[in-house]
Amino acid sequence: MEHSPHVLAALTMQQLIARGLAPTPENFARTYYEISIKPVPALVPDTRQLLESAPCAELTQALHSLVNDAFGVTDRLSTKLSNTWRAMDANAEALRQSRLPDETLRQVVTLLAHASGLMDIIETSREELEQSRQALRQMEGKLAETTRELGVDALTNTLNRRGLSNCLSREIARAKRHQDKLSVIMADLDNFKRINDSHGHEAGDRMIVHFAQLIRFVIRDADYVARFGGEEFVLILPEADQVHAEMVALRLQTILAKTPLLYEDNEISVTFSAGIAEYRDNEEGAEMLRRADTALYAAKAAGRDCFRLAQ
């Protein structure tokens, strides 16, 4: 018997939990095809392809179905409560107008029966809503774990350190293969602690997201941005030499200076310091990032709000 995609997605998640496997796209895809008895396609470890794969799409559909089920419970509860309240109101009105003892007793019994039914509806719906809430919490946890495994930072939706490592390794391999240029920019917001101290941590998070959005505005579609940690970001610029990287850093400086963060009727301005490293033959990603980081510290030492080139 062939299961629906929704059922297959749910069964796949159960199998991953039972096997103690992380819900990564690779694990999800392989388990999915085992359950569905379909041939396993070639799984390329590329984030965009994995996100667009059928198993990931069906996992998303499963989540949508779960949310729709939760809405369905609330809709049924609303309808049942509305109908029961109308019936109780009618019985209460009949009770007020009744003059005969037998009729009064009958109306009281009917009213009590409706009240008891109303309590049953509330209790049943409460249990259904609690089950839906627990299921949504579990799905939220699994999706958060999957996001981390995919290499995506939850706050900014940029690459995280895992995603950065994978992406930089891939771009270095491509640069070697085609003898292309490759540069990275390591950028860090200046005096970021002052924002948290003056406006609160929520404002700090908003500034980090704001900075990530401005980075996306100045880079090309072929470039990548990763949150390296805290308020520090790494830009990966394929087919770009040191001069191109300097132009990107200058554009980012300009747009950041002209675009303060609007937070609770306040305009919060900030600057950043950066280190730029161009790929050297046979260099590993960790070494390239280390050189960019050293250049970043040189920019901080030079007074901030500037960038320096790696040696």
Residue extents of the structural domains in the chain: 1-150, 161-309
* Catalytic site includes residue 278: no
**Structure confidence at residue 209 (pLDDT):** 93
Least confident range from 23-27, 69-73, 170-174, 233-237: namely: 69-73
Mean predicted confidence (pLDDT) in 267-285: 95
Asked if pLDDT for residue 234 goes beyond 70, the answer is yes
Confidence at 37, pLDDT banded by 50, 70, 90: low
Given this structure, which CATH class describes domain 161-309?
Answer: alpha beta
Closest CA to 231 of 189, 196, 194, 275: 189
**What is the value of pTM for the model shown?**
0.58
**Helix 101-150 × helix 54-97 angle, to 10°:** 160
- The dihedral built from the CA positions of residue 15, 19, 25 and 31, taken in this order, carries a sign that is negative
Average of per-residue pLDDT across 12-39: 67
For residue 159, the 8-state DSSP code is: B
SS3 238: strand
- Nearest Cα neighbor of 249 from 188, 294, 302 is 188
Contact of 296 with 276, CB cutoff 8 Å: no
Candidate list 231, 239, 246, 267, residue with the active-site label: 231
Number of residues that this document lists for the chain:
311
Between 173 and 134, whose confidence is greater?
173
Tell me the C-alpha distance between 38 and 76, whole Å: 38
Q: What is the pLDDT of residue 70?
A: 56
Largest separation between any pair of C-alpha atoms in the chain = 101
